[in-house]
């Protein structure tokens, strides 16, 4: 065998070893021949596990490779669904918002004459304490996503719609004031390490109730 043959064999062996390692780590995007139903199942699983990872590790320390592994897919397959971690976080926020709006719509159907105060209060309290992605982000992370226009909000449109469904005579400006108060409560309760967990739920309940009084 000549030198070229030896070089080619050596190159091929090293290449295959490297390729095997990459594939085993799930770092290469392999063709994913999933049905639409399978894709939706995987996405829902990623959202569920993603929230758990965010809650446990925070955005910065959440590793996509570990998240993908927990969902029994490779890292490359994850990137077939989401081009980046930031994109995944924003899609998770969008999903949470959609779920929240679905809950609000159910309330509106239950109370066609207008959602009473106590029901609205419970809705906003649950919305804050249950699977709230914003509370899992640092202020720096939130600002970064907002700066890149990855977090979008139509506050005025939301205000018009929600106020039209509440049993109240208050207007849009009252909702906008409520929204700012609600945002302050969300941001203020995001770093649990600095809060008294023993009284946290009681404090949040009191703050949300006070904020809801702006709506009625």
pLDDT tens per residue, range 77-86? 999 899 999 9
Q: Verify that 140 and 42 share a domain, yes or no.
A: no
Last residue of a domain, one of 63, 82, 101: 82
pLDDT of residue 183 exceeding 70, the answer is: yes
139 versus 5: the higher-pLDDT residue is 139
Q: Verify that 107 and 176 share a domain, yes or no.
A: yes
Q: Verify that 77 and 91 share a domain, yes or no.
A: no
From 57-66, 144-153, 173-182, the region with the lowest mean pLDDT? 144-153
Q: Verify that 163 and 207 share a domain, yes or no.
A: yes
Listed in sequence order, the residues at least 6 apart from 85 whose beta carbon sits closer than 8 Å to its beta carbon are 59, 62, 64
Please report the pLDDT score of residue 33 as a whole number: 74
Please report the pLDDT score of residue 196 as a whole number: 75
pLDDT tens per residue, range 94-107? 898 899 999 999 99
Q: Verify that 53 and 138 share a domain, yes or no.
A: no
> Which domain does 187 fall in, by range?
86-216
pLDDT tens per residue, range 114-129? 999 999 999 999 998 8
Q: Verify that 44 and 134 share a domain, yes or no.
A: no
Q: Verify that 76 and 140 share a domain, yes or no.
A: no
Last residue of a domain, one of 49, 82, 115: 82
Last residue of a domain, one of 82, 117, 149: 82
- Count of the separate structural domains present in the chain: 2
Q: Verify that 110 and 207 share a domain, yes or no.
A: yes
pLDDT tens per residue, range 24-79? 444 444 445 778 888 899 999 999 999 999 989 989 999 999 999 999 999 989 99
Q: Verify that 63 and 120 share a domain, yes or no.
A: no
From 11-15, 23-27, 204-208, the region with the lowest mean pLDDT? 23-27
Closest of 214, 89, 91, 94 to residue 162, by C-alpha: 214
Binned at pLDDT 50, 70 and 90, residue 6 comes out as low
Q: Verify that 206 and 103 share a domain, yes or no.
A: yes
The whole-angstrom separation of Cα 214 and Cα 46 is 37
Q: Verify that 105 and 206 share a domain, yes or no.
A: yes
Q: Verify that 106 and 132 share a domain, yes or no.
A: yes
- Buried b vs exposed e over 145-179: b needs ≥16 C-beta within 10 Å? beeeebbeeeeeebbeebbebbebeeeeebbbebb
Structure tokens at 44: 């829902």
């Amino acid at each position: 065998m000549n030198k070229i043959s030896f070089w080619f064999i050596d190159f091929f062996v090293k290449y295959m070893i490297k390729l095997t390692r990459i594939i085993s780590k799930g770092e290469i995007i392999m063709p994913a021949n999933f049905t639409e139903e399978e894709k939706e199942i995987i996405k829902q699983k990623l959202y569920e596990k993603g929230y758990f990872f965010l809650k446990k590790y925070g955005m910065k320390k959440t590793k996509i490779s570990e998240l993908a592994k927990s969902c029994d897919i490779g890292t490359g397959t994850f990137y077939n669904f989401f081009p980046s971690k930031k994109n995944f976080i924003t899609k998770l926020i969008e999903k949470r918002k959609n779920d929240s709006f679905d809950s609000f719509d159910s309330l509106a159907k239950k109370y066609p004459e207008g959602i009473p105060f106590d029901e609205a209060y419970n809705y906003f309290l649950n919305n804050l304490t249950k699977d709230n992605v914003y509370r899992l982000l640092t202020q720096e992370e939130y600002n970064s996503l907002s700066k890149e226009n990855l977090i979008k909000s139509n506050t005025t449109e939301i205000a018009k719609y929600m106020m039209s469904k509440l049993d109240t005579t208050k207007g849009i400006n009252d909702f906008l004031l409520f929204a700012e108060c609600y945002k302050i409560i969300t941001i203020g309760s995001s770093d649990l390490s600095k809060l008294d967990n023993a009284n946290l739920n009681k404090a949040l309940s009191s703050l949300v109730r006070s904020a809801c009084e702006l709506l009625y």
